[in-house]
Amino acid sequence: MLPSRRGPLAGHGAFAVLLACAAALRVVTMLGYRPATLYWYDSYTYLDTAAHLAPSAAFHPIGYPLLLRALLPFHSVELVVAVQHALGLGVAVLVYAVLRRRSLPGWAAAAATVPPLFDASFLRLEHAVLSDTQFIFLVVAGLAVLMWSPRLSVRAATVAGLLFALAALTRTIALPLLLLVVLVLAVRRAGWRRLAALGLAGTLPLAAYAAWYAQHHGRFALSGADGVALWARTMTFADCARVQPPPAEARLCPNGTELDAASEYVWAPGSSLNLLPGDRFAHNGLARSFALRAIAAQPLDYLGKVVRDTAIAFSWTPIAHPARVTPAFGFSHGRWPLAAQPLAAKVQREYDPDLRGMRSVSPYADFLVAYQYVAYLRGPLLGAILLLGGVAAALRPAVALLPWAVAVGLLVGPVAVLDFDHRYVLPVVPVACLAAALAFSRRDGSPGARWSRG
């Protein structure tokens, strides 16, 4: 009797079906909204930086513009989002591969990939010229490398460090994330050689970029907006009668302008920062000094605002924060012209001459408008996933503590340094799902000898 032959998809049938359906959804998204979603300031600044590589003086480091630069010869924003949709699928593949490696049955590993594969918010995010999809992929890839084997090698630690460095050069919130990863591995006693390899590989690229930034802007840093962001965070609670800032910083005290979200203070014309002479980011150092002083004087008020805004993520009905935004269900019908600003025309001329603004196309857009109301991860479900991940971290710290700690860091970090944004919650989802699924792994978390079977 001839031995049976197992095909390459043996044991992975459920995930293969999910991946194929998710890929079809992304094709529908590209057909339904041509060519891509562009956001004022962010998208146009990224595209302009890609055409003229130089460190941005404000919010955006160089990581995402490097991807855009690699795609510049094709002069197609539509190709950019196609690559991002592929990265979105890649995130699910990484989560699934790590879970199967950790001996989860096929159904459990496949189930963990459902939210990032099918939540309509991910479809929208991948279809926008924004750094988030690349950031998510790099963070999950870094975790996958660290979690692949029960004994971390120096080589794996080095590769993971580089991936987290690239994540930090994509979104600076990954910088404290790198410190968190090192701390968790130190608690797990990963060994000083591995920790050193991770730390060096994670910090050297950042130091090189900071030196390049200093050549252009005169300050060794990754961005010129960290102080402004933290200052905006303090505007929701700072009481200068308690802070007692020196005269130079006192100009940044709350001036009676009341806004519904901390991030609004960065841009509001009437906020104290924007009443100072010159560009708002020219006062980054002064803003940072004021913010740290305010947090030191009012630590409980600061923590209270962070907890309150983080809790928005767990509401059943999406809460608009700030009120002017659409927190979810953003697929709609219409036409969205290019922004009426010189940078838009410059991007059109230098990056994609065929760029004409986005339009919805029926029947594909019709399907997505209806689909988004069903395919949305409600806040309490995210809370349940994080809770299950916390249980897994307590029961199986050797495997689940790291992704759960990263998920919590991704959730709280942006709120702590600026504000809550529904967009910033999405990186939490695949990492939280990875941690939660590990509750069903073997107690020792060791890779299975036959992980290809379902």
Q: What is the pLDDT of residues 145-201, one digit of tens each?
A: 999 998 899 999 999 999 999 999 999 999 899 999 999 999 988 889 999 999 999
Coil/strand/helix, residue 453:
coil
The residue count for the chain: 454
- Rounded to an integer, the average pLDDT of 64-87 is 97
At 454 the pLDDT is 31
Per-residue pLDDT at 2 exceeds 60: no
CB 87 within 8 A of CB 431: no
Instruction: From 249, 266, 248, select the one nearest 257 (Cα to Cα).
Output: 266
pLDDT digits (tens, 9 = 90+) for 261-302: 999 999 999 999 999 999 899 999 999 999 999 999 999 999
CB 177 within 8 A of CB 406: yes
At 9 the pLDDT is 62
pTM confidence score: 0.93
| Mean of all residue pLDDT scores within the chain | 91
Sheet architecture: strand order including 33-34: 33-34, 358-360, 335-336
Q: What is the rounded CA–CA span in Å between residue 167 and residue 151?
A: 24
DSSP 381: H
Q: What is the rounded CA–CA span in Å between residue 315 and residue 378?
A: 7
CB 171 within 8 A of CB 135: yes
Coil/strand/helix, residue 128:
strand
